Amino acid sequence: MEFTLEREKLLIPLLLVNSVIEKRQTLPILANVLLRLKNKKLIFTGTDLEVEVTTSIQAVSGKEGDITVTGRKMLDICKAVNEQTEIKVFSDGSKLNIRAGRSRFTLQAMPAEEYPTLETMDWEERITVNQAELKTLLDKTSFSMANQDVRYYLNGLLLELGDGILRAVATDGHRLAKSEIKVKTGKESEIRQVIIPRKAIMEISRFLNEEKEKVVLEFNQNHFCARSGEWVFTSKLIDGRFPDYAAVLRPKLSLEIDLQREEILETLARTAILTNEKFRGVRLSLSENRLTITANNPEQEEASDELEISYSGDEVEIGFNVNYLMEALRSLKGEQILLKMQDANSSCMLLDPNQPNTQYLVMPMRL
């Protein structure tokens, strides 16, 4: 195999495929990227056996062939080369040679035949969505995913497809985030649920841009795939049953308070300075036309702040993790938000009245 490319053209695909390669591998070849030149198309592939990324460059002249080489080293070499430098890459038996100006590099290589790939079978469902809409959907919910929870099905994000809706739901057992967008589906009556692993969700967000480009999403029993332009992102699914989020989102919350989003966010940020660093608890106290937010810590320090609100019901006092409240508020973009509560033992719900399809539920905590 042999080809010559400008540094910038080679750097972008190497960055994309290296993003899924783990620093510690169970197999030595998993530290490598697969390079394949065929029909003037240079294809890059990286995998950790759970997630696989393939991207390509068109109109590349050279000698056809394939080989695998350590992804991180090849990426570091390209980063270190001066901008707009032409890089020549050619294989020589079990070695890959890189020439850039006066610089010479020789890397150990492994045969392409030994490189593992995800066997995905046939795709059972396919939809096309706007990249910007999908990115927004994931950004509004992914922060609520669990991380290394023993309940493995929480270490990912639920995508639910059906009736012209693509819905994303994430929960770590302490909070829940739900958002949805309208899509065109071929099977309007069937509901399909898949749980995409946390790593896949975090990585695919890097591929999605803010433009109006389209991305094709494909599903089957064991895999999820997203493809757009020159890249293809494939991931295994989590085999488990996601909690009944619809039941969780149906609590009786009769107290409704209208708040200025920026004002409550700034108030929580000030109060959070003196929270317990481990538990991050704040107390929300409702009284007539007033919301009081207090926090204290083991050093006997205390913070308190007040907001004027429109409220005339019973006095209520509830504790919450301030980080959970602030992350939900940052994800809501409207000026006004609606805070719904019930009593000291109930969860609270945050939503934008103008965009009710995005909801955040936060469980209370004892203080």
Dump pLDDT digits (tens) for 153-173: 999 999 999 889 999 999 999
The answer to whether residues 196 and 168 touch, using CB atoms and an 8 Å cutoff, is no
Is residue 185 over pLDDT 80?
no
pLDDT, residue 332, reads: 96
Q: What is the Cα–Cα distance from 195 to 200, expressed in whole angstroms?
A: 10
Convert 304-359 into a string of H (helix), E (strand) and C (coil). EEEEECCCCCCCEEEEEEHHHHHHHHHHCCCCEEEEEECCCCCCEEEEECCEEEEE
Cα-Cα-Cα-Cα torsion 300, 306, 312, 317, nearest 10 degrees, comes to -20
**CATH fold for domain 2-114:** DNA Polymerase III; Chain A, domain 2 (3.10.150)
CATH, range 125-247: 3.10.150.10
CATH architecture of 251-362: Roll (3.10)
Domain 2-114 shares a fold with domain 125-247: yes
pTM to 2 decimal places: 0.92
* Ranges of each domain in the chain: 2-114, 125-247, 251-362
Structure tokens at 309: 């609100």
pLDDT band for position 113 (50/70/90)?
very high
Q: Is the pLDDT of residue 187 over 80?
A: no
User: For position 189, what pLDDT does the model report?
Assistant: 58
pLDDT digits (tens, 9 = 90+) for 298-324: 999 999 999 999 998 889 999 999 999
Examine the pLDDT at 284 and tell me if it is beyond 90. yes
pLDDT at 190: 80
Q: pLDDT band for position 37 (50/70/90)?
A: very high
User: 142 — phi, psi (to 5°)?
Assistant: -65, -25
